[in-house]
């Protein structure tokens, strides 16, 4: 399936749906090691994005759609999620600016830019028990899939699968960034909510590419 603006819109609409579906789960995860607002904030942000999709011009690119998400999340989402995800989508949009369709190289560039934006904004790295622990393996898996000659949908599927594994792998970690870092070893055994929401969003991207 071509990764054009229709795909980007499907991804965004699917993201809003999956965040709404998992809102309570994300709130619970965040309440265990954070301040409990992650699911609520993301749900509010993506709900605000949906009506704005109708305003995208007919010649909008995938990057334009991603930039719309970025600006809306930054302006409507509080806590850490707004700036982190807003920066991720903004950097992703910049990486594919002007592309009417995304090939495999563009997909990897988009994911890499999103991850690098999160790192830049949150000053976190892999192993810190943050959303970076989902995004870094996702980028690595996408890069490997591209090198293996796989298509765009398969690249996104590899990224999503790696992100899901990365989110699970945050459970035994001691948090070194964010509010969870104040808990020390008490954070062990709890999954990072940002890593979990990242995995959910990347799976939706893959499903949208696969026509699911």
| Beta carbons of 13 and 211 less than 8 angstroms apart | no
Tell me the residue range of the domain where 150 lies.
5-210
Q: Cβ distance 88 to 114 under 8 Å?
A: yes
> What's the structural domain count of the chain?
1
Q: Give the Cα separation of 92 and 70 in Å (integer).
A: 9
pLDDT attached to residue 184: 55
CATH number of the domain within which 31 lies: 1.25.40.340
Report percent pLDDT > 90 for the chain: 75
* Per-residue pLDDT, 176: 63
> 3-state DSSP helix/strand/coil percent for the chain, to nearest 5?
75, 0, 25
- Given a cut of 90, whether residue 31 has pLDDT beyond it is no
For the cut 60, the answer to whether the pLDDT of residue 187 exceeds it is: no
Signed CA dihedral, 198, 204, 208, 209: sign only? positive
Whether the model pTM is above 0.85: yes
pLDDT digits (tens, 9 = 90+) for 46-100: 999 999 999 999 999 999 999 999 999 999 987 778 899 999 999 999 999 999 9
In this structure, what token pair is assigned to residue 4? Answer: 């054009």
Q: Which spans in 53-128 are helix H?
A: 62-76, 81-95, 104-122
pLDDT digits over 192-212, tens only?
Answer: 999 999 999 999 999 999 987
| Mean pLDDT confidence for 22-34 | 86
Q: Cα 32 to the chain's mean position, in Å?
A: 21
- For 14, 55, 56, 103, 153, the CA distances from 26, given in Å and listed in that order, are 16, 29, 29, 32, 26
**Residue-level pLDDT at 185:** 60
């Amino acid at each position: 399936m071509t990764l054009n603006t229709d795909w980007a819109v499907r991804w965004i609409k699917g993201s809003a749906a999956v965040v709404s579906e998992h809102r309570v789960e994300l709130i619970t995860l965040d309440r265990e090691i954070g301040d409990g607002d992650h699911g609520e904030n993301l749900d509010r942000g993506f709900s605000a994005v949906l009506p704005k999709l109708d305003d995208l011009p007919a010649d909008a690119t995938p990057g334009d759609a991603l930039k719309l998400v970025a600006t809306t999340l930054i302006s409507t989402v509080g806590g850490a999620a707004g700036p982190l995800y807003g920066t991720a989508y903004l950097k992703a949009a910049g990486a594919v600016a002007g592309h009417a369709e995304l090939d495999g190289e563009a997909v990897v560039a988009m994911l890499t830019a999103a991850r690098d934006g999160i790192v830049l904004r949150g000053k976190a790295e892999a192993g810190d028990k943050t959303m970076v622990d989902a995004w870094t393996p996702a980028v690595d898996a996408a890069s490997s899939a591209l090198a293996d000659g796989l298509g765009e949908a398969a690249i996104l599927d590899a990224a999503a699968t790696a992100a899901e594994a990365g989110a699970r792998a945050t459970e035994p970690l001691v948090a070194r960034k964010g509010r969870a870092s104040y808990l020390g070893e008490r954070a062990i055994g709890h999954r990072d909510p940002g890593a979990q929401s990242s995995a959910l969003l990347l799976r939706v991207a893959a499903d949208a590419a696969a026509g699911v």
